[in-house]
Amino acid sequence: MKKSKKNIDIGAVMPLIIFFVITLAAVILTGGQVFAVNNILNIINQAVPYLLAGVGMIFAVAMGGTDITCGSIIGLAGTAGAYAALNIGFWAMFPAAILVGAAVGLLNGIVISKFKVPSFMCTLAMLLAIRAVLNWWLQSQVFICNEQMLKLDNLGIKLLIALVVLIIFGYIFRFTPFGEYTRAIGENELAMEFTGTSVSLVKIVAYTLSGLLAGIAGIFVVVRLGGASNTMGAGVEMKVMLCMFLASIPVQGGSGTRIYKLIIGVMTYFMLDNGLTLLGGTSNVNQLIRGVILILALIITRVAIEKNEMRNIKRAAAEN
């Protein structure tokens, strides 16, 4: 009995504690305003694109890589979606955005797996390149969402789609060989190659899925904004990464990578963001406070994990 007590996964518990502390603080300081129905809906509304992009990124992160192209993919896919909806027809919006996202992801996957370019470098370069393509496209053209498109900016639809996506990709990540392979690559890529599995193929599929999901997120971002803009999605990639860190998803990937952790991380971030906004204060001050709190949260988590690891190492050494 004692043993199982010791084996609590601190990495999974700490983010939850931090989430509750931040929520509690927000509730107390705002006098309960954060829990107003409208506000909760607002938080969820803001969080959905980040959640979608995060679920995509998690496949890359599980492999010990990263995919920070999502910010630009959101911009380009959103714009492509708007273009298709306005020029071809409303329903063309979805395949257009998804295909653009998946295509960029596929390109990432090929460069990373076939040419052995580290994923951070490749997706960073792609982030800049895709943003440039978007700038060039929007220089000459303006896309304003029509009414039918704006109807998509509806919390019910968003939640439904987000839920469906979460379930499908959660399933893929958790219950299919492919999902297991991504985590196994994070554990030991070389050993994975020695099992006869095509690591390249897994990587290509993973980055394609990541791009595809960023594409879906792009649809929501563009309809919320009401039109295509060249700053659309900028910075999303870093915030998603921050959410992952908050959720103590291991940077080196592997079996500790879990989608529920990501959800906790995203909710923590937006609870904090929202609480600070409700409290008023200038945005500069808020950003500073937000930064300080996030750093503190990360330090606390890190220390807790480290202590736990030390204990585990000692125990493992003892068992040998």
Partner 1 sequence: MADKVILQIDKLNKWYGVTHANADVDFQLKRGEIRGLIGENGSGKSTLTSQICGIQIPTSGRMFLNGKEYAPKSPIDANNCKVAMVVQELGVLGTLPVSVNMFMGHTKQFTKYGILNVRTMEKAASDILEKYGFENIPLKVLTQDLSIEQRKLVELVKALSIEPDILVLDEITQALSHDNRQKLYKIMSDFVKNGHSIIMISHDLEETLELCDSITVLRDGSAVMTVEKKEFNLDELKRVMIGREVSAHYYREDKKASNSGELVLSVKELTTDKLQSISFDLFRGEILGVCGLSDGGIHDLGRAIYGKEHIRSGEILIYSKDGVKAVKRTKDITGNHGAYLSKDRDSEGLMLQAKISTNIQIPSLSKMASSCWFVSPRKLKKLADDAKKRFEIKCVSVDAPVNSMSGGNKQKVNLSRWLIQDLDFIILDCPTRGVDIGVKAYIYNLLEKEAKERKRAILLISDELPEVMGMSDRVLIMKDGKVSGMLSRDEGFAEEKIVEAMI
- Give the binding range for partner 1 (CB under 8 A) out of 56-64, 72-80, 168-176, 269-277: 168-176
- Binding flag, residue 306, partner 1 (CB under 8 A): no
Indicate the residue among 302 and 314 with the shorter CB distance to partner 1: 314
Q: How far is the CB of 231 from partner 1 (least distance, A)?
A: 39
- Give the binding range for partner 1 (CB under 8 A) out of 13-21, 76-84, 115-123, 191-199: 191-199
| Bridge partner residues of 227 (DSSP) | 144
Contacts with partner 1, 240-259, as mask; x by CB under 8 A: --------------xx----
- Binding flag, residue 63, partner 1 (CB under 8 A): no
- Binding flag, residue 156, partner 1 (CB under 8 A): no
Contacts of 247 (CB under 8 A, 6+ apart): 15, 261, 262, 264, 265, 266, 268
Segments in the chain forming alpha helices (H)? 2-6, 10-29, 37-62, 70-87, 93-114, 119-140, 147-150, 155-175, 177-187, 189-193, 199-225, 236-246, 259-278, 283-319
Tokens standing for residue 314? 């000692």
SS3 32: coil
| Residue corresponding to tokens 């998690």 | 58
- Binding flag, residue 116, partner 1 (CB under 8 A): no
- Binding flag, residue 12, partner 1 (CB under 8 A): no
- Binding flag, residue 31, partner 1 (CB under 8 A): no
Closest listed residue to residue 109, CA positions, set 178, 198, 209: 209
Indicate the residue among 6 and 302 with the shorter CB distance to partner 1: 6
Question: Which positions lie near partner 1, rule CB under 8 A?
Answer: 3, 172, 175-178, 180-181, 183-184, 187-188, 190-198, 254-255, 314-320
